[in-house]
Amino acid sequence: MVTVTALTASGQTATSYSGTLHFTSSDANAVLPADTAMNGVSGTFSVTLNTAGSQTVSVSDAGALKGTSNAVAVAGPPNHFTVVAVTYQQVIGTPLKFTVTIEDSTGATVTTYAGTVHFTSSDSKAVLPADSPLTNGVGNFSATLNTSGNESITATDSSNAAISGNTGLLPVSGPATHLSVNGSGSAVTRSFKLVGVAPLDASNNYASSYNGTVHITSSDGAAILPADATLQASAGTFQITFETAGSQTVTATDTVTSSIKGTSGPITVTASSSPTITSGSPPNGVTGAAYGPTNTNYDLCRKDPQTQFFTCTPCVPDTFACGGGGYPACPRRGGFTQTCVETITTVGFQVTATGGLLPLKWSGASLPAGLTVVAGFAGSGLIKGAPAAGSAATYQAMITVTDSGNPPAPVTMTYPIVISNPPPPVVFPSLLPGATVNQPFTFTFGVESGTGLAPYSNWKESGTLPAGIAPLSAAGVLAGTPTMTGAFPIALTVQDSDGQVSAAQDFTLQVYAHGFKTTGSMATGRTLHTATLLGDGTVLVVGGYPGATTEIYNPASGTFTLTKGKLSVDLFRQTATLLANGKVLIAGGTDFLTGQPVATAELYDPATGLFTPTAHNMTVPRSNHTATAIAGGKVLLAGGFNGSADVATAETYDPATDSFTATTGPMSSPRAYHTATLLTNGKVLIAGSDDPTGPTLATAELFDPGTGSFSSTGSMAAERQNHTATLLTTGPNSGKVLIAGGADNISGAKATAELYDSGTGTFTATGSMAVQRYYHTATLLSDGTVLMVGGLNTNTVVELYDPTTGTFGGTGELQAWRYLQTATLLKDGSTVLVTGGNGNAGPGTAIATAELYQ
């Protein structure tokens, strides 16, 4: 029966409804009412569904009103029984509860079933329920199975044998009569083997009702056996460790009923080996220094697709077993996302062993204080640490490796290890910077690397110090303000933590009449900038890293002030050239934001304090290039880095046309970090260069403004980059070019110098500087000497080159350690302004201070 109710749009009963109802159904075989008029709220109608499954009934009228019933489960005729046991494991003589459900072909319960169920079993001794009807198609029953094995219960319609079903095979067992011990195969002494024990009944079926305690014995009287354990309705697994090689068995016995027992098949037991240390003797060591070499090992780490865990296996880099160089480096252990090669670096001596049961454990005794033995790479041991101060002696170190056997098999090797003190400390440097009379002086002495053992103490100085300089401090600092000039010999010693005293190191503290004093600081720290003397005697400081401002230094007040304008692009490694019209050409450089060289150029006008872009850009981007004022007021711009390589191109800037023009021909080699020097004959000497693809260059060439082309000249005696080149103006070497310092890609920084003679086109050696210098400055003073300032590895030592004697001598030190600074000769011809640069904290530590040499 179905009830149809008319509803409003809001779901309320439509009391005024009147219409004719038409019935349809998802069941094509349904018997439906004829179209029927309904006046009022609702009506009840008879519907007969004849197709099994989920069916619905729908109603509509001529006014487009319609509705559909909920799904109705329609059962077909009985097709089969489903018989389900409440428990899977059965015990003989124990009632078995099960459920019988009559279903149609679709699996739907036939609630109208009126037949009778008859029960049978594969167990001929089973006690079964009597024939019985079902209630709403379902019945709950109990039976007792009495035969051990796999048995089943079948339900059959008493009138139609085609309608049936069964439980499937159910394991039925009786009481346990014996035990099964599954332990055949092989084993290794001192390494445990797992043995399974299961209770069985007389028919060798699993006795699920067993709840006893078993005792384990073995034919190996020395075996390590587990404690008695209770098996609660399940089998048990026991850990056996054999200690005797040969054929052995394991027996399990019930602790109450000794007849319930079982013995394994024969187990072939092989004797395990003890570990053997295979590495050679550990090296000797030095107090205070890391012990042993640096070792780099590699693991290929892969993800197991089954477990999703990573396993790492030692491998040889760039071989097939190590990924053939095609796998990325692992980010860190535990952070893998793909197959990768993990690099493991250790410092110490790796001790290796073979044999034994893994994993191996390492330990040490009678080691020098400060050394220990820890787990190393791939099962090795690692002797690591730093021998402590006072531990210098010969040790009979005992290194022990212990395997994981039960009992373990430790093996100990005794190795002599000699720990010695480092050489006695050696005071450095060998050269003391010069002091300047009436200017602050400070210098901190240190100890040469590889000598002595820190910390250091008992610094002592002997000799006569100039007035104003305090005695050497306990920290090795010599400081004060000397009030007299002269040479003052002193000797220094220092003691290390092992009590070793250095040999006396002789120094001469030279106090000079000339030297450096501090002046005002710039607004920002900068390096790789430019500083240009203007016509009015002030100095224009432009760009640099990371400075973005432009400043003017006023010698009269000793202060810096920001210019009115600034560059349109923040630059470093640009050039700045004073033009005949008083303006300054700022050309090329590296854009601070993009890190790329630019081809732009700008003009600074001292009259307005503003920067204006030139009418045209350079022909190519340039950074680390040179700019040289040449005849006709033009500027030669040569070489540099274009963003991908050094270039050999060159061009000239003409202020008259405000434009750049490529030279007739390029240089003979690409060059950057080179020098360009205007000679007395109007030509320009181009010397040296870095070479990213090979050795630094020693070659040189000449630019002729008359032809606009380059030609080769003699080569320097040494390859150089980041050196200095200065045209000498006095003495027998007047007109020659002093090439000093620099570095090459092989031997590094240089202290050597040489002279270029434009008359012969050759270079000849001249005196060497006292210290190696590159990234330094060289400034020609009015007296013809050349002031060498700063550079890497120079501390604050400053030198003067005398063109008459061809030698370098000392002068007063810098107030601050610098490299990549600027040095500008002021209008008086004897004062040099030094600005910025990197400080002694290293790259990226641009400083804002400035000082004057007078």
In 10 A of CB 551, how many CB atoms? 23
- Which residue is associated with the tokens 């109608």? 45
Q: How far apart are CA 549 and CA 570, in angstroms?
A: 8
Q: How far apart are CA 22 and CA 61, in angstroms?
A: 6
Instruction: Encode pLDDT of 520-532 as tens digits.
Output: 999 999 999 999 9
Q: How far apart are CA 271 and CA 405, in angstroms?
A: 11
Q: How far apart are CA 73 and CA 109, in angstroms?
A: 9
Tokens of 620: 């190519």
CB 627 within 8 A of CB 618: no
The dihedral over CA atoms of 328, 334, 339, 345, expressed in degrees to the nearest 10, equals: 50
Question: Which is nearest to 775 in space by CA: 668, 605, 624?
Answer: 624
The region, left, alpha or beta by phi > 0 then psi within -120 to 50, assigned to residue 268 is beta
Q: For residue 796, give the 3-state DSSP assignment.
A: coil
CB 173 within 8 A of CB 89: yes
CB 552 within 8 A of CB 541: yes
- Going 354 to 357 to 359 to 365, the CA torsion angle's sign is negative
Average pLDDT over residues 699-718: 97
Residue 282: the pLDDT is 94
Res. 35: pLDDT tops 80: yes
The dihedral over CA atoms of 286, 290, 294, 299, expressed in degrees to the nearest 10, equals: 140
Q: How far apart are CA 635 and CA 583, in angstroms?
A: 12
Residue environment code for 482-510, b if the CB has 16+ CB neighbours within 10 A, otherwise e: beebeebebebbbbbbbebebeebebebb
Cα 619 to Cα 257, 435, 637: the distances in Å are 105, 48, 10
Sequence letter at residue 556: A
pTM greater than the 0.85 cutoff: no
Per-residue DSSP letter, 471? P
Instruction: Encode pLDDT of 324-362 as tens digits.
Output: 767 888 876 556 677 888 888 999 999 999 999 999 999
Residue environment code for 112-122, b if the CB has 16+ CB neighbours within 10 A, otherwise e: ebebebbbebb
Per-residue DSSP letter, 466? P
CB 519 within 8 A of CB 811: no
Question: Which is nearest to 155 in space by CA: 147, 145, 163?
Answer: 163
Sheet holding 246-248, edge to edge: 185-188, 267-270, 246-248
694: exposed, middle or buried (Cβ count in 10 Å: 0-12, 13-18, 19+) = exposed
Instruction: Encode pLDDT of 794-824 as tens digits.
Output: 789 999 999 999 999 999 999 999 999 999 9
Instruction: Encode pLDDT of 619-673 as tens digits.
Output: 999 999 999 999 999 999 999 999 999 999 999 999 999 999 999 999 999 999 9
Average pLDDT over residues 46-70: 88
CB 777 within 8 A of CB 822: yes
Res. 98: pLDDT tops 60: yes
Express the helix, strand and coil content of the chain in percent, nearest 5 each.
0, 45, 50
Number of residues that this document lists for the chain:
854
DSSP calls for 74-88:
E--S--EEEEEES-S
Task: Looking at 305-362, list the stretches that DSSP marks H as alpha helix, in order from N- to C-terminal side.
Answer: none
Compute the C-alpha angle 444/450/456, nearest 5°: 45
Residue 666 CB contacts under 8 Å (≥ 6 apart), including other chains: 648, 649, 650, 710
CB 546 within 8 A of CB 527: no
Q: For residue 669, give the 3-state DSSP assignment.
A: coil
Q: How far apart are CA 338 and CA 323, in angstroms?
A: 12
Q: How far apart are CA 813 and CA 512, in angstroms?
A: 9
Residue 662: the pLDDT is 97
The region, left, alpha or beta by phi > 0 then psi within -120 to 50, assigned to residue 777 is beta
Query: 550-554 and 559-562 as β-strands: parallel, antiparallel, unpaired?
Result: antiparallel
Instruction: Encode pLDDT of 782-801 as tens digits.
Output: 999 999 999 987 789 999 99
- Going 578 to 583 to 588 to 590, the CA torsion angle's sign is positive
Q: How far apart are CA 116 and CA 133, in angstroms?
A: 4
Q: How far apart are CA 406 and CA 390, in angstroms?
A: 41
Three-state SS for 522-570 is CCCCCECCEEEECCCCCEEEECCECCCCEEEEECCCCEEEECCCCCCCC
Q: How far apart are CA 299 and CA 343, in angstroms?
A: 7
Q: Is residue 156 within a helix (H) or strand (E), and if so which, with residue range? A: strand 153-157
* Minimum mean pLDDT range among 1-5, 182-186, 458-462, 693-697: 693-697
Instruction: Encode pLDDT of 532-563 as tens digits.
Output: 999 999 999 999 998 778 999 999 999 999 99
Sequence letter at residue 497: S
pLDDT band at 692 (very low <50, low <70, confident <90, very high): low
Res. 76: pLDDT tops 60: yes
Question: Which is nearest to 687 in space by CA: 719, 645, 655?
Answer: 719
Sequence letter at residue 80: H
The dihedral over CA atoms of 154, 156, 161, 162, expressed in degrees to the nearest 10, equals: -80
Query: 505-512 and 435-436 as β-strands: parallel, antiparallel, unpaired?
Result: parallel
| Percent of the chain surpassing pLDDT 70 | 98
Question: Which is nearest to 98 in space by CA: 153, 135, 161?
Answer: 153
Residue 324: the pLDDT is 72
Query: Is the bond preceding 359 in cis, omega lying within 30 degrees of 0?
Result: yes
Sequence letter at residue 453: L
Residue 659: the pLDDT is 97
Residue 80 CB contacts under 8 Å (≥ 6 apart), including other chains: 102, 103, 163, 164, 165
Residue 837: the pLDDT is 95
Between 607 and 73, the higher pLDDT residue: 607
Residue 694: the pLDDT is 66
Q: What is the mean pLDDT of the chain?
A: 93
Residue 842: the pLDDT is 61
Per-residue DSSP letter, 190? T
Tokens of 442: 């400070």
Question: Which is nearest to 502 in space by CA: 513, 511, 486, 491?
Answer: 491
* Minimum mean pLDDT range among 180-184, 624-628, 759-763: 180-184
Q: How far apart are CA 705 and CA 717, in angstroms?
A: 27
- Which residue is associated with the tokens 């001529």? 62
Q: For residue 502, give the 3-state DSSP assignment.
A: coil
Q: How far apart are CA 189 and CA 201, in angstroms?
A: 33
